[in-house]
Chain A
Amino acid sequence: AQTVTQSQPEMSVQEAETVTLSCTYDTSENNYYLFWYKQPPSRQMILVIRQEAYKQQNATENRFSVNFQKAAKSFSLKISDSQLGDTAMYFCAFGNDYKLSFGAGTTVTVRA
C-alpha cells in the first residue's frame, strides 16, 4: 500500500508571495503519477498539477510548480505570486491505475 505524508497542517502566506508545500510518499511501484489537488471551501476537488513518475522534468502550470525528487520520494508544490483565491486545502496524492491515495492535506491561507 502507498502512503502519502504531508507534514504541514497549515501554512499562511502574504498575497503575492511564494509558499511551498511538502509531500513525501512511500511506494514500491516504478510507474505512477503524483498529483496536487486543491479543495476550496466549496469542497470541489480541483486538479492543480500532475507529474508522471517517469518524467524527470518538473511539471509547471502557470503559478504552480513542483519539485519532484523520485529517489527521495518527495513531491513539493510551490505556489508563486499567491492570490486570495488560492486559499484552500491542498492534498498531495499518489496515483496508480487511477486509484488515488491522499495525504492528510495542508490548509493554505493567503493574507491580503
Chain B
Amino acid sequence: GAVVSQHPSWVICKSGTSVKIECRSLDFQATTMFWYRQFPKQSLMLMATSNEGSKATYEQGVEKDKFLINHASLTLSTLTVTSAHPEDSSFYICSAIDISYNEQFFGPGTRLTVL
C-alpha cells in the first residue's frame, strides 16, 4: 500500500510558540489530505480537510487561525499550531487519499507536547 509520512514524530515546545507538522505522501499524489486529532485513549476527531491549491475546510469548532493548514503541493500538507498552549498537547494524525487505490492512508502521527 501507499506510504504517508509525518515529521516530526514528536515535538516539545514552550507555550506561546508555533509548531509546524508536515504530512507527505511518499509514493503517490494526494489532492486531498485530512488532519485528525487524538487525545490519549480516545477516538480520532477530524479537524480539517486539506485540498491542494485551495483553502482548507475546517470542521465545526476548530479554530482556523489557530490551526493553519497549507497544501502547497500534491505530496505535502502542513499543519501549523500557532501560539501553542498546553491544551493543544495531543496526537496529530494526517491521512492522504490515493485515488488509484480509492483508499485513505494514514501517517504515523505526531505527538505534540506544549509546556
Contacts and interface: CB of A to CB of B under 8 A. Distances in A.
Contact of B106 (A45, A89, A99, A103): A45
A103 B46 CA distance: 12
Size range of the chain A interface in the assembly: 10 to 19
A44 B108 contact: yes
B75 interface: no
B48 to A, nearest CB: 10
Given A91-B43, A98-B32, A98-B104, A45 B93 contact: yes
Given A91-B44, A101-B46, A104-B43, A44 B104 contact: no
A105 B2 CA distance: 25
Contacts of A91: 43-44
Contacts of B41: 89, 105
Contacts, number: 42
Interface in B37-62: 38, 41-46, 49
A47 B93 contact: no
B43 A100 contact: no
B103 A105 contact: no
Contacts of A44: 106, 108-109
Interface in A41-64: 42-47, 50
Size range of the chain B interface in the assembly: 10 to 19
Given A43-B91, A45-B93, A47-B103, A100 B46 contact: yes
A73 to B, nearest CB: 18
A100 B47 CA distance: 11
A101 B44 CA distance: 8
Given A98-B32, A98-B34, A99-B34, A43 B46 contact: no
Given A44-B108, A100-B34, A104-B42, 17 more contacts: A42-B108, A43-B91, A43-B93, A43-B108, A44-B109, A45-B93, A45-B106, A50-B103, A91-B43, A95-B104, A98-B97, A98-B104, A99-B46, A100-B44, A101-B46, A102-B44, A105-B41
6 contacts: A43-B93, A45-B44, A47-B104, A91-B43, A98-B34, A100-B34
